[in-house]
Structure 1
Amino acid sequence: MLLPNKKLHVFLVEDEPTLMDVVEQTITQLGHSVTERAERLEDALSKAAAGGFDVAVLDVNLNGQDSFPVADALIARGIPFVFTTGFGANNLPERFQGGYLLEKPFRLRDIGQMLDRLAQSL
């Protein structure tokens, strides 16, 4: 189990560079670090396979491609993650229903609460 003050290493997958920077800054301000970043599906898949992080934040839509293969890879490795999307939970495949989701636009404090939930999954 993760200790409350343990620093999380986060894999951030987001295709909008400005939003990625804002989310990364928030994660850093919360005392954690973004150890991997990806804007494209291929890069995200490669980094998901390589590991080096505790949890992941996945934008559902990456330049028109779903990030679901990345989520599947994370599940296979036992790495908790949260989806971010502006399209709602109804657009997630059934296998991801009931998982962690941040709907855009989300408040930055929501990121902290979600990271706490992910940490409890470790």
Structure 2
Amino acid sequence: MARVLVVDDEALIAMMLSDLLTEYGHETVGPAHSEAQALELVASKAIDAAILDVTLGDHDCFAVAQALGERGIPFAFATGHGIHAMPDAFRERMTVSKPFDFEVVKQIVDELVAPATQL
């Protein structure tokens, strides 16, 4: 079982992702609904992977992505805006499009947590 951070400002989407993670046999960290909440969880919790909504109200998740990257924690972005809206530094990261295709979400989560589940 991997611990996956969920960051999304929409409570229903965060709950849906949490339910999917449980169905896939993983534990949800959070969910965090803001950049500040997410950064606090990154600093204080054991996390194996993360799914980050790009747009968090009036902010974005790129500080969270930076913090995860510095800790070597794999993550994927979730967005309805497409890869063209991503900063160059993050364009090579995995991205899942909204609305979600649940099979794609499962594939991405499996890829993100593969190192954690092999321990």
Q: TM-score, normalised by structure 1?
A: 0.90
CA displacement, residues 75-112 of structure 1 (integer Å, 9 cap, x when unaligned): 00000000000000011100001111001112112211
Report the residue type matching 2:103 in the other structure: R
Report the residue type matching 2:41 in the other structure: K
Structure 2 residue corresponding to 1:112, chosen from 101, 106, 109: 106
Aligned to 2:23: 29
**Equivalenced residues, count:** 116
The percent of aligned pairs where both chains have the same amino acid is: 34
Report the residue type matching 1:107 in the other structure: D
Matched, 1:67 2:37: no
Q: TM-score, normalised by structure 2?
A: 0.92
| Cα distance, 1:63–1:106 mapped onto 2, change above 3 Å | same
Report the residue type matching 1:59 in the other structure: D
CA displacement, residues 15-59 of structure 1 (integer Å, 9 cap, x when unaligned): 000111111101100111102320011111111122311000100
SS at match of 1:44: helix
SS at match of 1:34: strand
Q: CA deviation at 1:121?
A: 5.2
Runs of 4+ with >6 A deviation: none
Distance 1:49 1:94 in 2: 25
CA displacement, residues 56-84 of structure 1 (integer Å, 9 cap, x when unaligned): 01000001201000000000000000000
Q: Is the 8 A contact 1:60 1:68 kept in 2?
A: yes
Q: Is the 8 A contact 1:36 1:53 kept in 2?
A: no
Matched, 1:48 2:42: yes
SS at match of 1:52: coil
Distance 1:39 1:105 in 2: 18
